[in-house]
Amino acid sequence: MRIIVTGGAGFIGSAVVRQLIRQTDARVLNLDALTYAGSLSNIASVSDNPRHHFLKADIRNFDAVARAFAEFQPDGVIHLAAESHVDRSIDGPRAFLETNVTGTCNMLEAARGYYGGLTGAARDGFRFLHVSTDEVFGELGPEGRFTETSSYRPGSPYAATKAAADHLVRAWQRSFGLPCLITSCSNNYGPYQYPEKLIPVLVNNAVAGRSLPIYGTGENVRDWLYVEDHAAALRLVLDRGRVGETYNIGGDSERTNIAIARTVCALLDEMRPDSPACPHERLIRLVTDRPGHDLRYAMDASKITAELGWRPVETFETGLGKTVRWYLENTDWTEAVLNGGEIGRRGLSDRRGMD
């Protein structure tokens, strides 16, 4: 197969690309604009493989996207490119509209034009997979989980733009017959995650002896999904998912933010017992909550399990252990990313990276 992966130098996208190159015989066009969250170092391990092709392009540029379809002739698309950090969407929502909504529209229109020229088996086999988020559903109460039919109630500019993109994908399928699928995932974690997210912030700050900022009371709950498990699920949905369907992907690992912080601190105490910051839990600080901070998300992933046989391989404990150790062993990666991005110029602030 020939697969376009947008956002393939980002956190989740690079995991998908690495798996496709290492575990299949697919040819991959990795399309990424290399904004602050994308890095060629994320794909360095596969960059020399002849089946991996990198194209620096922005999905906001329709002509560039259309040329990519025409020249690469894909059998499928995994659309991951997006602005994804909630705090950034509150600080500057326009960029989220431009990338997540207009960019997705460009992807759909380019795919529609390309799909219209396909015939036979190529047309029958083409798929467009759009990767969404549990945040489109808004806030859960203390019980229950989001299903694929849950109502949309986005609570942040980020979530609203992802919800809009979901609706565009469904509209392009119904109006134009483009064979689309959608996945909605819970909070990802793992190696190569941009250092403004919760778990990298905790590890990197603790190692440096800095405070570990947690929003509000720390009781906000998220369902955590190891990124390699998510990548495997996306490959499976592209290959075997039913056109027109949405599949929830979750890790069945609900944790409060404060519990995450304490667990990371306990792992660091074990892995770095000689650190002057031990015990690391004493670095935890509760800070002013962010606007519109949803209390709880949790995903019901029974549909993808029943239909496609997917289950996460990693438990939260095994995945978190691998993740913390990876960051401890790859400080050069973190330093390079921070020095090249906005955070590197600004410095980590106490209101970033809470979930």
Catalytic residue among 58, 75, 83, 135: 135
* Cβ contacts of 33 within 8 Å, gap of 6 or more: 56, 57, 58, 59, 81
Distance CA 83, CA 60 (A): 12
Catalytic residue among 36, 114, 115, 158: 158
| Distance set, CA 63 to CA 9, 50, 69, 215 (Å) | 21, 25, 10, 42
Q: Sign of the CA dihedral 271, 273, 274, 277? A: positive
Distance CA 184, CA 135 (A): 9
Catalytic residue among 32, 134, 223, 294: 134
Distance CA 212, CA 198 (A): 9
Q: Is 135 a catalytic residue?
A: yes
* Share in percent of the chain as helix, strand, coil (round to 5): 45, 15, 35
Q: Sign of the CA dihedral 106, 112, 114, 115? A: positive
Q: Is 134 a catalytic residue?
A: yes
Reading the block at residue 238, the tokens are 């592209």
Reading the block at residue 255, the tokens are 């944790």
Distance CA 101, CA 80 (A): 12
Task: Produce one character per residue of 203-216: b if its CB has 16 or more CB atoms within 10 Å, e if not.
Answer: bbbbbeeeebbbbb
Q: Is 297 a catalytic residue?
A: no
Task: Produce one character per residue of 180-192: b if its CB has 16 or more CB atoms within 10 Å, e if not.
Answer: bbbbbbbbbbbbb
Among residues 348, 6, 14, the alpha carbon closest in space to that of 188 is found at: 14
Distance CA 280, CA 264 (A): 9
What residues are labeled active site? 134-135, 158
